[in-house]
Amino acid sequence: IIPNSVTSIGDSAFSGCSSLTHIVIPDSVVTLGAYTFSECHGLKSITIPKSITSIPRGAFRGCTSLTNVTISEGVSGIEEWAFNGCSNLTVITIPDSVRYIGEHVFSKCIGLTGMTIPNSVITISNSLFYGCSRLIDITIPDSVTSIGRGAFSGCSSLIEITIPNNVNSIGESAFYNC
């Protein structure tokens, strides 16, 4: 349990703590550093409080036991590689306050079977769902105007996708090996 006196958690602070199974981030924390909890192989679930405006680069990268993530309303961005390689991630709730989702955020999250992108997002970043081989259903809102390079590459279970009329560019290999 992180006490309420903590307002900032630095880069790689808990990185590699493979036996850590549960952590409570209090509302007093306003910033997380890059790779804060990366490679915490035992971590099972996490709730990002509304006090954190952005989930940093690689924050939960390689947390292979992580199954459930709740992002509170108020978080506006998810930086590159944040959940990359979270192979058992099956449930993630992304609120409409999130406007930006970086490259490779959900790459190799093979447990994901469905996802709804919030209406506030305008770009599906490069390699966002790369290698999500069990992804069957994805909802892309009308707010999206571009789909990045390799965004859905390797999503071999993807059955159907509707590309909104507002999309004006689809990057190379966006749907390669679907």
CA–CA gap between residue 70 and residue 81 (Å, rounded): 17
Measured between alpha carbons, how far is residue 130 from residues 62, 67, 70, 174 in Å?
Answer: 15, 18, 21, 9
3-state class of 12 per DSSP? coil
Pairwise CA distance, residues 58 & 103, whole Å: 11
Q: What is the mean pLDDT of residues 159-169?
A: 94
* Section 149-157 average pLDDT: 98
6 and 29 in contact (C-beta within 8 Å)?
yes
Nearest-angstrom CA–CA distance, 110 and 169: 26
Give the residues across from 9 on adjacent strands: 32
What pLDDT is attached to residue 145? 98
The answer to whether residue 17 scores a pLDDT higher than 90 is yes
Per-residue pLDDT for 172 more than 90? yes
- Residue 173 pLDDT: 98
Average pLDDT of the segment spanning 1-11? 96
Token representation of residue 21: 């199974």
Spatial distance between the Cα atoms of 51 and 47, rounded to a whole number of angstroms: 11
* Cα 128 from Cα 135, distance rounded (Å): 12
What's residue 91's pLDDT?
87
* pLDDT 10s digits, 81-130: 999 999 999 989 899 999 999 999 999 999 999 999 999 999 999 999 99
Which pLDDT tens digit goes with each residue over 32-78?
999 999 999 999 999 999 999 999 999 999 999 999 999 999 999 99
* pLDDT at 126 (0 to 100): 98
Token pair belonging to 55: 């989930």
- Under 8 Å between Cβ of 118 and 142: no
